Structure 1
Amino acid sequence: MQHYYYLLLDLLSFCIPFLFSFERKRMHFIQYWKPFFSAIFIVGLFFIAWDIWFTEMGVWGFNDDYLIGLRIIGMPLEEYLFFLLIPYASVFIHYALEYFLPKLVLSKSVTHYISLFLFVLSAAIAALNIDKIYTVTAFGLFSLLMLFQLIFRWKFASRFYISFVIIYIPFFFVNNALTGNYSAEPVVFYDDAENLGIRVGTMPLEDSFYCFALLYGIVLVFEYFKLRWQKPLTL
């Protein structure tokens, strides 16, 4: 069973949100499968390419003891599934909160100041750690995303900042399961010379900013596709 550890973690994280997507009386989220999976695929391609590059460079790697053994371009199958299943489950939480707690949003001014603070913080960390490739890329991408947020003032951030706090709870447990908090050895291991060396549980701090960029990117592309395809969101 140990070789199915990562695969089962992917599937168990995904199955409950996916099953609730078919519930018809309320959200019926599966009706948006086309724009949603398109957004996951498009944003996921970028992050998968990043993942392949870093795996090849040794910035991080994977423990075969916890994998089924199938690798594609140097990465295990489970890692590809991660970029499909975990974003689905995570972003589903965002839209569930929008449906059940529609008034749970930040004001425009608070959203703006949070974005400004996050931009300055992440840009400074990236600039001060250009010798650490995971740090500079994770915080650099995040700061670029925050810069665009400040410029375009996307309305989705006023809700997503709150959603991410909730999403971060299962994300914390899943990523800690991958980085060795609940297993004898980590499934995913890192070269700490390429990151800050700060751990949240057992996962590098950079993973949190990497995750935010992935998920918020999916939300932005999803919302764009819904508008383009004229599929009104009834959540």
Structure 2
Amino acid sequence: MSLYFILLTASGAVPLLLSFDKRLQFYKQWKYVFPSILLVALVYIIFDVNFTNRGIWGFNPEYLSGIYLFSLPLEEILFFVVIPYASIFLHECVREYFPKLELPKSLNKVLLIALIVFSVLVAVLNTDKNYTVYISLKLAVVLLLALLLNSRIPRSFFITFIVILVPFLIVNGILTGSYIDGEVVWYNNSENLGLRIFTIPVEDFAYAFSMILYNLLLIEQIKKRVNK
């Protein structure tokens, strides 16, 4: 079993088992969660294939199973299902046990606008760095969507993301070279800002934030349509 697959199994096993917890009963949300995960995954995988083929990032075969789909390791495709599921589960757990833990509406709006402006500026000032531009604009779009939809989700997600960062730092840290020789995923630093927290490119934090927020917003919209 490859190291990447072991990380995915460890990340997904506990949330999956705890989905049947009597209090949370997260399995009842699967009809909303899985369609969202698959739709968002499709978009991210398309860009992942493109960026892999262009050498913006790549994968170390030493830590992979050797099975590839659309130029991507099987583990990388599973990443877009397992990690969002675990993150959404953790977000819902925090909300269940701390329902009042959210930002004031006014602060949330200011933070959304500030981050949109910041993300666009980062993209404009770094047009020669494909990964930076890609994720900055993707982050700006999802924040704008949250603002236009007048969604309450960011008010809690800004806080729950801090909790999500704990497993993120461990898993993504290993993937990018912490605690192991070499790295599972390598990056072409000429295509990003070259700034890292431990071994993790700063863009990866925006990548994770945007991917999970897209899912949460989509789940919200699916629920509204289904429950009309």
The alignment's TM-score, normalised by the length of structure 2, stands at 0.97
CA drift at 1:153? 2.3
SS across alignment from 1:134: helix
Matched, 1:170 2:128: no
User: Hey, what does 2:177 align to over in structure 1?
Assistant: 180
User: Hey, what does 1:16 align to over in structure 2?
Assistant: 14
Matched, 1:47 2:44: yes
State how far apart, in whole Å, the 1-side matches of 2:75 and 2:207 are: 18
List aligned pairs for 1:61-76, cutoff 5 A. 61-76=58-73
- Whether the 8 Å contact between 2:146 and 2:217 is mirrored in structure 1 is no
- Among 190, 194, 215, the alignment partner of 1:193 is 190
State how far apart, in whole Å, the 1-side matches of 2:223 and 2:131 are: 33
User: Hey, what does 1:34 align to over in structure 2?
Assistant: 31
User: Hey, what does 1:7 align to over in structure 2?
Assistant: 5
State how far apart, in whole Å, the 2-side matches of 1:184 and 1:47 are: 28
CA drift at 1:78? 0.3
CA drift at 1:32? 1.3
User: Hey, what does 1:133 align to over in structure 2?
Assistant: 130
- Whether the 8 Å contact between 2:132 and 2:193 is mirrored in structure 1 is yes
User: Hey, what does 1:152 align to over in structure 2?
Assistant: 149
- Whether the 8 Å contact between 1:142 and 1:213 is mirrored in structure 2 is yes
2:189 is matched by which residue type in structure 1? Answer: D
Q: Deviations over 1:82-135 (max 9, x none)?
A: 001011001101111111100101110010111112112111111100110000
- Whether the 8 Å contact between 1:105 and 1:159 is mirrored in structure 2 is yes
- Whether the 8 Å contact between 1:176 and 1:203 is mirrored in structure 2 is yes
State how far apart, in whole Å, the 2-side matches of 1:45 and 1:153 are: 25
The alignment's TM-score, normalised by the length of structure 1, stands at 0.94
Query: Relative to structure 2, which stretch is displaced further, 104-113 or 149-158?
Result: 149-158
CA drift at 1:53? 0.6
State how far apart, in whole Å, the 1-side matches of 2:226 and 2:121 are: 39
CA drift at 1:184? 0.2
Q: Any gaps of 5 or more consecutive residues in structure 1? A: none
SS across alignment from 1:189: strand
| Runs of 4+ that moved beyond 4 A | none
Q: Any gaps of 5 or more consecutive residues in structure 2? A: none
CA drift at 1:173? 1.1
SS across alignment from 2:2: helix
State how far apart, in whole Å, the 2-side matches of 1:62 and 1:191 are: 11
Matched, 1:214 2:179: no
- Among 124, 135, 139, the alignment partner of 2:121 is 124
State how far apart, in whole Å, the 2-side matches of 1:223 and 1:149 are: 11
Q: Deviations over 1:20-53 (max 9, x none)?
A: 0012x20110011111100000011000111111
